[in-house]
Chain A
Amino acid sequence: MTGKDLSLVIESFWPITQGAILGTIPLAIVSFVIGLVIAVVIALMRLSKITIVSGIARFYISLVRGTPLLVQLFVIFYGLPSIGLTVDPWPSAIAAFSINVGGYAAEIIRAAILSVPKGQWEAAHVIGMSRGVALRRIILPQAARVSVPPLSNTFISLVKDTSLASTILVTELFRQTQEIAAFSGEFMILYLEAALIYWIICLALSAGQNRLEKRLDRYVAH
């Protein structure tokens, strides 16, 4: 690495990190939170005994998992305007990512709910709880523990997938990098720098996952 490369890395570090702080990270967090809400609703619908309700949930999951995220993003941002519905880059990105996370996380949450022993539902019934209260106070907290590792996977994937938002003009980590690269012509060094910053963010997330798992493990035998 030459001295010129090094000074480019240092100079571009802040603008790229700014893209992460103002773009990538908030985009990932907001989409994940909304996606989780969607996922819980879809998971519960999928578990419903009413065929139409569970059918809608199946259809949603199938559609989300069966189509590329980039295509979903393009349909919302470039497709909707042609039927008179123009959505700005940020809301488009958040909508696409939330819908996507909702589909994947729904299956994780459904499996986690099913992993809680039936006796827990019965004990909740015996102390007088309705199904809703039992779900909220007894079942979901136990399902949460089981779902942390797979949901962490989903979140880490999402952080990297937000780079796709660069294609619909959202100023995030990767778009910042692309702009600097186009301007300077130093593609290799800058894209490696972007990769490194993504990696650092994901390392921090893995550490967070470990801490969360430890905290939630306090009530199980070791």
Chain B
Amino acid sequence: MSRIDPLLTVRSLAKSFGSNQVLRSVDLDVPAGTVTTLIGPSGSGKTTLLRCLNGLETPDAGTVAVDGGPSIDFGGTVDRRTLGQLRDRSAMVFQHYNLFPHKTVLENVIEGPVVVQKRPREEAVTDATALLDRVGLAAKRDDYPFSLSGGQQQRVGIVRALALKPKLLLFDEPTSALDPELVGEVLSLMKQLAGEGWTMVVATHELQFAREVANEVVFMDGGVIVERGAPAQVLGSPREERTRRFVQRLTHPL
């Protein structure tokens, strides 16, 4: 794979809910093996952008291409199979984990590989066990999600995404629902994944994570990308007033 080609290319993406224009012509390039963080106030469109990247929302216009797959043009009608190709290249980690409550930790992780990807069950179990072991949850593999802490549930959520062997990992405010003392265990796992070369797009309010882990920080407001660049620049000396105010509010809430 060429290192110059971006793994994710988004052009002129637009999405409205009724009269509410949530995304207005968003462009985004994410090179393979890099971490992009999306920051911005609630309602800025970062979650919608993420959801458009794997078909949870269908954009009204614009194109999305992931890892040499077809560049999907949402200006025309997009059939389900094409959307499936988009979805199959990425995996999403949700703010509220969305683990399947009626399945054990292990069953949650192997559901996609076995039922959808039709991989042999034995192989999927071996892989899942290794992944769970890596995040320190091997002992919980036969427990149901309700008995896990929020941080543990989110780590299972991440493992469930990894087990799909996606090209692109999408995180939708993965620590926003966690108690403050549990945020660290999830962020450090994400940092570890970044170090291993996973390509990640992360919507987050954790500026420190953005500062330490991200290759690029993208600040969104009102459905547009206001500013983007290296973390030190966007978070340290933002060019735009809106960015400066947002970073200030997050750094000094009082």
Pairing of A with B:
yes
Residues of A within 8 A of B (CB-CB), count:
20
Q: Let me know if B146 and A221 touch, CB within 8 A.
A: yes
**B101 contacts which of A125, A133, A142 (Cβ < 8 Å)?**
A142
Complex Cα spacing A133 to B115, Å: 9
- In the complex, what distance in Å separates the CA atom of A51 from the CA atom of B183? 46
Contact of A145 among B55, B56, B102, B164 (CB under 8 A): B102
Is B111 in the interface zone, CB < 8 Å from A?
Answer: yes
Q: Is the CB of B146 within 8 A of A219?
A: yes
Shortest CB-to-CB span from B220 to chain A, Å, is 21
Chain A hits for B88, CB < 8 A: 128
CA of A138 to CA of B101, assembled, Å: 9
Chain B residues within an 8 Å CB radius of A127: 91, 111-112, 116, 160, 164
- Flag whether B209 is at the interface (Cβ < 8 A): no
Q: Is B61 an interface residue (CB 8 A)?
A: no
Contacts A128-B117, A133-B116, A137-B111 given; does A123 touch B101 at CB 8 Å = no
A141 to B107 alpha-carbon distance, docked (Å): 14
**Residue on A nearest B100 in the bound complex, by CB:** A138
Question: Is B87's CB under 8 angstroms from A123's CB?
Answer: no
Return A100 CB to nearest CB of chain B, in Å. Answer: 30
**Nearest Cβ distance between residue A203 and chain B, in whole angstroms?**
29
Pick from A123, A133, A145, A220: contact of B99, CB below 8 A. Answer: A123
| A3 beta carbon closer than 8 Å to chain B | no
Judged by a CB distance under 8 angstroms, whether B94 is at the interface is yes
Judged by a CB distance under 8 angstroms, whether B98 is at the interface is yes
Tell me which residues across on chain B come within 8 A of A220, comparing CB atoms.
Answer: 101, 146
In whole angstroms, what is the CA distance A97 to B94 when docked? Answer: 44
Q: Which residue of B lies closest to A221 (CB)?
A: B146
Which of A126, A129, A141 interacts with B102 by CB under 8 Å? A141
Q: Residue on A with the closest CB to B157?
A: A123
Are A128's CB and B116's CB within 8 A? yes
B144 interface residue (CB < 8 Å to A): yes
Answer yes or no: A119 CB below 8 A from chain B CBs. yes
Mark each residue of chain B from 139 to 153: 1 if its CB lies under 8 Å from any CB of chain A, else 0: 000001111000000
Which residues does chain B contribute within 8 Å of A125, judged by CB atoms?
A: 55-56, 87
Question: A126 to chain B: which residues have CB within 8 Å?
Answer: 54, 56, 87, 91-92, 161
A140 CB, min distance to chain B CBs, angstroms = 10
Residues of B within 8 A of A120 (CB): 98, 100
Distance A127 CA – B159 CA, assembled complex (angstroms): 12
Contact B116 A129, beta carbon cutoff 8 Å: yes
Q: In the bound complex, do residue B56 and residue A219 qualify as a contact, i.e. CB atoms below 8 Å apart?
A: no
Given A126-B56, A133-B115, A219-B146, the answer on whether A119 and B164 have CB atoms closer than 8 Å is no
B100 and A123 form a contact (CB under 8 A): yes
Query: Could you tell me if A142 and B116 are in contact, using CB atoms closer than 8 angstroms?
Result: no
Q: Which B residues are CB-close (under 8 A) to A218? A: 144
User: Hey, which chain A residues are within 8 Å of B111, CB to CB?
Assistant: 127, 137
Q: Is B96 an interface residue (CB 8 A)?
A: yes
Which residues of B lie under 8 Å from residue A141 when comparing CB positions?
102
A142 to chain B, nearest CB (A): 6
Given contact pairs A122-B92, A220-B146, enumerate 5 new A-B contacts (beta carbons under 8 Å): A120-B100, A126-B87, A128-B164, A129-B115, A219-B103
12 contacts between A and B (CB under 8 A): A119-B94, A119-B96, A122-B94, A123-B99, A123-B100, A125-B55, A125-B87, A127-B112, A127-B160, A218-B144, A219-B145, A220-B146
